[in-house]
A and B are shown apart, each in its own frame.
Chain A
Amino acid sequence: ILNVEQSPQSLHVQEGDSTNFTCSFPSSNFYALHWYRWETAKSPEALFVMTLNGDEKKKGRISATLNTKEGYSYLYIKGSQPEDSATYLCAFSETGANNLFFGTGTRLTVIP
């Protein structure tokens, strides 16, 4: 089992604040890093898939960066809104495998 760690475990921010979370993963045999957004009572929804060192992806107010050499990825949310409240999961896949190893997630609560 590969170790994928996310921090912090949970986070409360005020509406309008910007925030970021960290995902750490093994730097050897890297293939891809996925970010998912998981709202309560729904299923995880893909945000980004990143494969190249230095990759940066953006979707609206959410962006992510990737450092495969040191084994981490950051997810940023600019100007948090209450609808951003969810658990954000990262998942790592290694070369030659399609299955994902998930972190336990960062639970974000945006307070209006």
Chain B
Amino acid sequence: DSGVTQTPKHLITATGQRVTLRCSPRSGDLSVYWYQQSLDQGLQFLIQYYNGEERAKGNILERFSAQQFPDLHSELNLSSLELGDSALYFCASSVQGGVNEQFFGPGTRLTVL
């Protein structure tokens, strides 16, 4: 158990809908990262927050957004969902950033029908 929690574990929804994925980092970790893993692809970095502020952006679509709240939990919002958004979404946290190892949550499996 990494200490990072994600909810929900599974999510099934329809095209065009909007969903919110939630992540609570390990106690004391200030950085939260979101990754997407689609079929046959490696983990793709989406976005990083550090102590409430956006720190880095990767391959995140405009239909997706995220935020980190004062209690350091983070939410990833996915809207106007398409079939291709079906994937495993991981959240990871680290103390700060840099060379600190990232601790991964169990992931949320999103299925868009």
Contacts and interface: CB of A to CB of B under 8 A. Distances in A.
A43 B43 contact: no
A51 B59 contact: no
Interface string B7-40: 0000000000000000000000001010100000
Contact of A51 (B31, B56, B99, B102): B99
A46 interface: yes
Contacts of A89: 42-43
A100 B56 CA distance: 11
Contacts of B101: 34, 46, 49
B45 A99 contact: yes
Contact of B56 (A1, A49, A97): A97
Given A99-B33, A99-B56, A43 B99 contact: no
Interface of B: 2, 4, 31, 33, 35, 41-45, 48, 50, 55-56, 58-59, 90, 94, 96-107
